[in-house]
């Protein structure tokens, strides 16, 4: 039996190469484990026509059109802003006696390709105990989804007459 004589320098170089290769394999596995709700990794929602009416009192609302541009159903689960003490997702509806009622929602499900209107008399984001807002101001609101990345929306402050249908 012959002895294979590998010099210390070559053995050390081989050990370093194996260590680097192992680190690369682990890094690739970690990166591929990071999920996204859309294969492209892009935000799967778009928002248009975002407005906040000037509040008559301490509360106002955010109205907009929310479109799921992704390939999977997802849900809006929360909204945040610095201009209100509390932010809630609500839905207004009319009961059988004709009375309007407003109910907080845990989530608003949006299917792929669907647009949900957040408007007076329907879904909206309530801004409770809001700062004093002036027509023309811009309000920044962060929308959070069950699976998709958060989306920051800039809404223009308008008069309520500009929002009412």
Residue 134 CA: distances (Å) to CA of 45, 66, 68, 97, 141: 28, 24, 31, 36, 16
pLDDT at 57: 86
Global confidence as pTM: 0.73
β-strand partners of 89:
125
In a domain, 84, yes or no: yes
pLDDT for the residue numbered 27: 34
Q: Of 86, 95, 24, which is closest to residue 61 (Cα–Cα)?
A: 86
What is the rounded average pLDDT of the residues 43-59? 91
Structural domain includes residue 21: no
pLDDT tens by residue, 81-139:
999 999 999 999 988 998 999 999 999 999 999 999 999 999 999 999 999 999 999 99
Mean of per-residue pLDDT scores for the chain: 81
Say how many domains are in the chain: 1
CATH of the domain at 96: 2.60.40.1890
Say if 26 falls within a structural domain.
Answer: no
Residue 34 forms part of a structural domain: no
Q: What residue numbers bound the domain in which 115 lies? A: 45-162
């Amino acid at each position: 039996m012959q002895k294979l004589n590998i010099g210390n320098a070559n053995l050390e170089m081989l050990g370093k190469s194996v260590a680097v290769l192992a680190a690369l394999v682990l890094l690739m596995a970690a990166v591929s484990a990071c999920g996204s709700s859309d294969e492209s990794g892009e935000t799967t929602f778009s928002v248009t026509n975002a407005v906040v009416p000037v509040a008559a009192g301490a509360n106002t609302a955010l109205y907009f059109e929310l479109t799921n541009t992704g390939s999977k159903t997802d849900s809006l689960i929360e909204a945040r802003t610095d201009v209100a003490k509390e932010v809630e997702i609500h839905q207004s509806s009319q009961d059988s006696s004709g009375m309007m009622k407003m109910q907080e929602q845990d989530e608003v499900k949006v299917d792929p390709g669907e647009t949900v209107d957040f408007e007076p008399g329907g879904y909206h984001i309530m801004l409770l105990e809001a700062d004093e807002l002036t027509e023309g101001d811009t309000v920044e609101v962060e929308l959070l989804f069950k699976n998709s990345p958060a989306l920051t929306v800039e809404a223009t402050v308008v008069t309520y007459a500009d929002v009412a249908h």
